[in-house]
Each structure stands twice: as C-alpha cells, then as structure tokens.
Structure 1
Amino acid sequence: MVDEIRYEYTTVRAIRGTDSSMIAKMQKDGWEFVDQTPGMLRSTLNFRRPKKPVLWRLIGVGVAVLAVLAVAGGIASALSDGGEKGEGETKAEAATTAAATTAPVVSEQPAAAPTPTAVESPATKVITARNNPEFAALLKADSCDDANVDFATKYAGRTVAFNGSIVHMAPHGDYDTRYDFLLGPGDKGPRTTVGPAFHYEDVNVFDLNLTGKKIPAIVGAGDKFRFVAEVREFNTVQCSFYLDPVSTEVR
C-alpha cells in the first residue's frame, strides 16, 4: 500500500503586484502554490510541499537488511564448517545454532533523534547594515527606489535594527495618545533627506518599548534612537515603508 503523502504548509505575505514573482521564487524552492487571499495592500499566499521521510524509518530498514545478511552469513559459515561441529550435530543444527548466535536483535523502537545544537537560524537573525548588504544599501537609497519594495517583499516578517531619528510625529486620527511616526536613518531628524520613509502607524509611546540608561518621559521630532522593528510592507503609491516597533533604545 502506498503511504499517504503528508505536507508541510507555509504562508507568505506579498505586496499587491508582486504575487507572481513571489510564487515563482517559492516554487523554485520546492513549494507548491495552493491559493491566495487578496487584500487592499498585500495578498496572503499559501504554499505546501511534501514532508521528508522520517529518519528512524530509514534506520530501521537498514538494521533489518543487516540482520538478514548476518543470518545468511551464519548459515553459509555453518555449512562450510560442518566437519568441525561436535559429534552427532547435523549441518542443519549447526546452521540454526550459528544463526541464533550471530543474528543481531532488531529493536522495534525508533532510533533516538540527535539532540539539536543551539544555533541561531538565519531566518531569526536580526538584520543590520553590517550583516546584510541589501539593508545597508537600502538605508542610503531614495524613499521611492525599487530597493524598498524588493526588500519589503523578501524580508516581510523579519526583524531589522538601525540607528535613526524621528523625522515627524503626528496624532493618529482623533486620538491624543496614539501617533503616526516617520523615522529616518541617521541623526538628522526633520532634516533627513536620504533613506527609506520608515513609518510606525497608530502606536502610543508605550508601544515603542523604550530602553536605555535615561528613558525620556516624552519623545518628539529630532530624538535619536536605535530602532529594532519588524518589516511589514512597502506602499508603492505613498513610498512609505511600514514597520512594527519591537524596541527603541535611547542613543
């Protein structure tokens, strides 16, 4: 009976208009496109691929093969050395004895999986200008450059960290405790002219998760921080690069 194929699934968010390129990239990595859910600014793409066979099953098959070979070898040895057996022992009895003493015991328990080594996965590593040339180039690019949408599409959901400052800060809607922040790389605040237009949308000061030796009671345009944030998406119409705050360290 053929074993039922089991799949693993993953979901990717892509900015509208880049769906085809994202699907092609995932298919190149072995993923099968399942379906998509369109949104106003981004689409949710669902993929699957067959799970790899469990290692212990392969080990079990190998042990069984070794057992068969050992039994065959014991029988052959017994037949060839029949003249050296004890008085009154037949060749068949000698073969049975050899098989019983040489055949390994095959355990029905799966082989214990090796203990994984704690190694930081590239997918969880915080992206900085030092360890990612694409991000280093992005921080020096124009706010409407294609590098913005390329980076947002490739690294959506990943975490980035950079030294920057608040370019602008305004209340969000009718709320006086929630704000929209415009951030820029570097230390020039409102005078920033280079790099993406990073946005935090509809957050309060507590959402910034301020850290450092001297945490300010209020924040405003011109304040310098070490921003750590999650990549959301890039709005190609507004040339706005949206992030979600993770932590904000005072510099």
Structure 2
Amino acid sequence: MARVAMVTGAARGIGADASVRLAEDGMDIAVLGTDEAAHAETLRRITETGRRCVFVTADVTDAASVDRALARIHSELGDPGVLLNCVGAVDRGPLRELSDQDWTEAVGGPLRGVFVTGRAVVDPMIKNGGGRILTLADVAGGGRPGAARNSVVETGLAGFTRTIALELRPFGITANVVAPEPTATDLTATPAAAGGSTYAAGALDAVRFLTGDGAAAVSGQIVHVAMTA
C-alpha cells in the first residue's frame, strides 16, 4: 500500500510543488484547505502523476475540523505517514503599525495550525510504526526591520519542532523544518519569484530527503536552503 501524505498550504508556489513531488515519489496525497477552487491546479498536477488525491475541506487551526479531515483521509486513502505543513511568510510592517488582529492572524494562525495538525497525526503514526512531520516555512526571515512576525514564528517553529522530535523519537516519528534563506521569503510565490529553479529544486530535494527512508535518523533539524544566483 502506498504511503499517504497530508499536506497543508499547497494552493500554489513551493507548497504546491512539494505536494506534487511527494506524489511523484509514490505517495497518495490528501490536501487540506478551505478553498478547493484555489487548489484546482495543484490537484490536477497531483492526479497527473497517477497517484490518488483527495481535497479535504478543513480549517487547520480548528481541532475538530482536522479530526474530521483525518477520519475522511483514513477512509479514502489510509492513515497519513507524512505530514507536510507549508507556511509562507507574511510581514505585516513595523511594530508601531501592527494591530492586535494583525498579530493574532500572522503569528497565532501559523503556529496553531502546525500544532493542531501535528498533534492529530501522532496517534495514527504511532499505531503504524512511525512517520514524518515536516514544515516547509520561512523561519529564517526574522531579524530584519518589519519582520517581528517572522521572528516569532521562526522561534516558535524551531522550538516546537525540536521538542516534539525528542518526544516522538521512541516511536519512529521524525520532525524537521525546511527553511529558505531570508532573501527568498515567499513560499506562496512561483519558483521564479522565490529565487529561481535552483532554489526551488533545492527546497524540494530537502523535502524529498526528509520524508524518505534515508532520513529515519534525522530529526529536530532546521534545514536552511540558500537561494543561488
């Protein structure tokens, strides 16, 4: 039976490319999101690989919604052995211009989504003898003016990933982050806008490695992918 990957943030850009890469590697793909139309091209590309693909409407920040999505994935494809969360960077401007709502949406949403989906897949992965939890995210985007949001998300994702990596290691579950360098921050952009085909290929190669059998002993890592000229 093919491995199953559950993917979030795959409407476009490198997130979409990563979901297609996993399908090319022989995985069946469950794409989670709130707008199926926005994912139409991604779903078409996955289907063209010959793998099974389902779109599941879900709010990844809502635990009940994710649990319902997992039940459907289990029914139609099987339990996910791979979770790939794709988190794009969104700078909201200087600190003095950030509203409470800006901060909550920009920081709380991504971190909660990674937490909720990660927690949801742990039991199925333990039951099936292991799995891969991977975040494709701009966690290297902080440390510059106007990037307070990215700095907080960077720290939160790094700490969360390293902690659960230790916690889940006895169960054969790894947790890692693939992170672009600060010069290439938009994971929702096209590969060209995100630094060209070399950068995009490097990020996708890292995803392929970390979700594969060869990375069984690699966990708790933040893997930086540099943009090249």
Q: TM-score, normalised by structure 1?
A: 0.21
Structure number with the higher strand fraction is 1
The structure whose RCO (Cα within 8 Å, separation 6+) is larger is: 2
- Between structures 1 and 2, the one with greater helix share: 2
Q: How high is the TM-score relative to the length of structure 2?
A: 0.23
